[in-house]
Chain A
């Protein structure tokens, strides 16, 4: 479904991603871990189409289509969804307010009929239940005064509404208490299918107890330096990253 080949990206001339290779197939869950500043969010942003990052090399195929030439909105319409690590606040725009526009533009792109207000509302109700989010929150200015957990829940709610093919969850677990973590993970798990795939970026193995990955990758200095199965996450939890850093830095040829 997703095929990243030798992806290099930089910001303001500084290379951040330095040759990422990753294959994700439908039905799979991939976890990306790695020390802070290693480029995890950059990878997520580049996939979602953020313009500040300049792709200097490499290519990304999504369902056989070149992803990188597409605008952010077309990527979303094709089925890429990014749950932001730091969801921003937008004063004066509520979730309900923009999501219907978003959903209908996505539907139009996919050749589906637009949803009228009634159908939209009933879909909302259904998805709200999934992540146990309150309608009041959704009619408030986006993320303004939301708690950390509320922001993350709102991200997953939007994901549920937009029914993406590939979901990239950037530290959706950070700052969640154990109840919220359970709710959010349940939501994500219910949305999974054989046709969709999930990339979870996380620092903590505890998320992976709930969203069980098929593969775990370690990103360090802009490269995937180690890949394994879920046992790798346990090992990292126990030993930290130093052993990997040492391994990489001692054989570094750059």
Chain B
């Protein structure tokens, strides 16, 4: 556990916390004080000195207020060709007036749903930022999908962020999906200007049995943004959950992804791409807990790091003693484009069952110079050739994004970056 760092500077956040969910917030606060912000030597945050970063960059530890979002802004933020439900947020506040609806999908502001069992999936005791969010979150959202409902079009969570004074944005998202339901979410963060802020997000997803849920997350905020995101999901019998995490920018970003496989024949997929340049620091910590026999997890994260960027990948696979016949696969591949870029990659396997299939691997390499020469020798200029190769490297993960408009958008973003002097 982390050495205690009792940060004075978060006090303002507690003071400004809304009056809703008061006992839950109190528990969050206690849990936060029991943990403190992760200290420099904290094992869980070893390569990501987030507390220090916060102390240096966040000038005002108070919640960023809701800012006005226009329908025009929403329209231009949505990916070209996107067809589906759009849910709009401003600094974590859900804005029903700008959001759309669909049959089988029920949406409320969290303030209207005070009996939502927040914290029952994302355990505040396990992570100080989850605790901090639980104590201080603003008006988030409660999404529920009825039993046997298949929502074919994707649900876009459009999260606009803007904090003039370098404040804190604490989105809270609760999703519950009934038995035999199906839905795809896209969580997309957008900066409205380039002032710094800290996003501390918690997403809890409670899946029913035989549910099929996908959560795509696209982080493309500006390079002053500090973000900690916690996504925790319970996956029941015969269900499938897929996460894709695409990170293209930011100052320091930490993503904690936790999949609890709770029912047999369940599948958890974790895919990610981080395409980093400048001084961007991105840390993906994933944790899959095989608690029952006959479940499967698949993980593939790919990183491309340029300039002085830094990546961290830590993939934990926990297979409990009773979780026989587990299949767990993990792969993390990285390409370093500069000598100053750094990646720390570590599989973390704890396997207590004896009849399991488990594989993991990580690679760190440079761009294949021979492949580059081959393409140049066919008449392709060096930058385009490099883009082609890097794009091919990332392609395996991009193929997992089944929402066509989103995939196209990300492909364009990546190609634009790789085709330039990235």
CB-CB contacts below 8 Å: A58-106 with B: 71-73, 75-77, 81-82, 84, 87-88, 90-93, 97-99, 101-103, 105-106
Name, among B373, B379, B391, B392, the residue most crowded by chain A CB atoms within 10 Å (CB to CB). B379
Query: Roughly how many angstroms separate A106 CA and B375 CA in the complex, as a whole number?
Result: 12
Q: Does B370 contact A (CB under 8 A)?
A: yes
- Chain A residues lying within 8 Å of B382, measured Cβ to Cβ, are 71, 73
Query: CA A76 – CA B385 in complex, angstroms?
Result: 14
Q: Assess whether B396 is in contact with A102, with CB atoms less than 8 Å apart.
A: no
Give the docked Cα–Cα distance between A1 and B131 (Å): 74
Q: Are B380 and A92 in contact (CB-based, < 8 A)? A: no
CB distance from B266 to the nearest CB of A (A): 30
Residues of A within 8 A of B378 (CB): 76, 98-99, 102, 158, 162
- The answer to the question of B19 belonging to the interface, with a C-beta cut-off of 8 Å to chain A, is no
- Asked whether B112 is an interface residue with its Cβ less than 8 Å from the other chain, the reply is no
A92-B395, A101-B384 known; A76 and B389 CB under 8 Å? no
B389 touches A109 (CB 8 A): no
Contact A90 B377 (CB under 8 A): no
The answer to whether the Cβ of B47 comes within 8 Å of any Cβ in the partner chain is: no
A48: nearest chain-B partner, CB-CB: B377
Q: Is B374 an interface residue (CB 8 A)?
A: yes
Number of A-B contacts (CB under 8 A): 74
Inter-chain CA distance A102–B378, complex, in Å, is 6
The answer for the CA separation of A109 and B380 in the assembled complex, in Å, is 11
- Which B residue's beta carbon lies closest to that of A108? B379
**Most central of A81, A84, A93 by chain B CB within 10 Å:** A93
Residues A105 and B373 in contact, CB atoms below 8 Å apart: no
Please give me the residue from chain B that is nearest to A161 by CB atom: B378
Nearest residue, chain A, Cβ from B378: A102
Q: B370–A88 contact, CB under 8 A?
A: yes
In the assembled complex, A125 has its CB within 8 A of some CB on chain B: no
Contacts of A91 in B (CB 8 A): 392
A105 with B371: CB separation less than 8 A: no
> What residues on A are CB-neighbors of B385 within 8 Å?
73
Contact between B392 and A72 (Cβ–Cβ < 8 Å)?
no
Is B381 interfacial (CB-CB < 8 Å)? yes
- Interface of chain A, main secondary structure: helix
Contact B374 A102 (CB under 8 A): no
Report chain A residues within 8 Å CB of B375: 90, 93, 98, 102
Known contacts: A50-B373, A88-B371. The answer to whether A93 contacts B388 by CB under 8 A is yes
The answer on a CB contact under 8 Å between A82 and B388 is no
A73 touches B392 (CB 8 A): no
Across the interface, name the chain B residue whose C-beta is closest to A141: B392
B384 touches A105 (CB 8 A): yes
Selected from B374, B380, B395, the residue in CB contact (under 8 A) with A105 is: B380
Query: A187: which B residues are within 8 A, CB to CB?
Result: none
- The number of chain A residues with a CB under 8 A from chain B is 30
Which residue on chain B has the smallest CB distance to residue A75? B377
A34 close to B (CB within 8 Å): no
Are A88 and B374 CB-contacts (below 8 A) given A71-B382, A101-B388?
Answer: yes
| Residue pair B374, A73 in contact (C-beta under 8 Å) | no
The CA-CA distance from A105 to B376 in the complex, in Å, is 11
- In the docked arrangement, what's the CA distance between A81 and B378, Å? 7
Most buried by A among B368, B370, B373, B395: B373
Quick check: is B393 within 8 A (CB to CB) of the other chain?
Answer: yes
The CA of A48 and the CA of B378, in the complex, are separated in Å by: 10
Interface membership of A213, Cβ < 8 A: no
Given the known inter-chain contacts A101-B380, A102-B379, A105-B380, please indicate yes or no for A72 contacting B373, CB distance below 8 A: yes
Q: How far is the CA of A88 from the CA of B377 in the complex (A)?
A: 12
Decide if A105 touches B379 in the complex (CB within 8 Å). Answer: yes
Given contacts A88-B371, A92-B392, A93-B392, contact A106 B379 (CB under 8 A): yes
Q: Which residue from B370, B379, B388, B395 sits with its C-beta under 8 Å from A73?
A: B379
Residues of B within 8 A of A88 (CB): 368, 370-371, 374
Q: How far is the CA of A92 from the CA of B396 in the complex (A)?
A: 8
Q: Of B379, B381, B392, which one neighbours A90 at CB under 8 angstroms?
A: B392
Q: Which residue of A lies closest to B375 (CB)?
A: A98
- Which residues on the A side are within 8 Å of B379 (C-beta)? 73, 76-77, 102-103, 105-106, 109, 162
Closest Cβ of chain A: how far from B275's Cβ, in Å? 15
CB pair A98–B388 under 8 Å, yes or no, is yes
A138 to chain B, nearest CB (A): 14
A39 in contact (CB, < 8 A):
no
CA A158 – CA B374 in complex, angstroms? Answer: 12
Most chain A Cβ neighbours within 10 Å, of B370, B377, B380, B389: B377
What are 26 A-B residue pairs whose CB atoms fall within 8 Å in the complex?
A: A51-B373, A71-B381, A73-B382, A73-B385, A75-B377, A76-B378, A81-B377, A84-B374, A88-B368, A88-B371, A90-B392, A91-B392, A92-B391, A92-B395, A93-B375, A93-B389, A97-B388, A98-B375, A98-B378, A98-B380, A101-B380, A102-B378, A102-B380, A105-B381, A106-B379, A158-B378
Q: Given known contacts A49-B373, A90-B374, what 15 new A-B pairs fall within 8 Å (CB)?
A: A49-B377, A73-B379, A73-B381, A77-B379, A82-B377, A88-B368, A90-B389, A92-B391, A92-B392, A92-B395, A93-B371, A93-B389, A98-B388, A102-B378, A102-B380
- Which residues on A are within 8 Å of B, measured CB to CB? 48-51, 71-73, 75-77, 81-82, 84, 87-88, 90-93, 97-99, 101-103, 105-106, 109, 158, 162
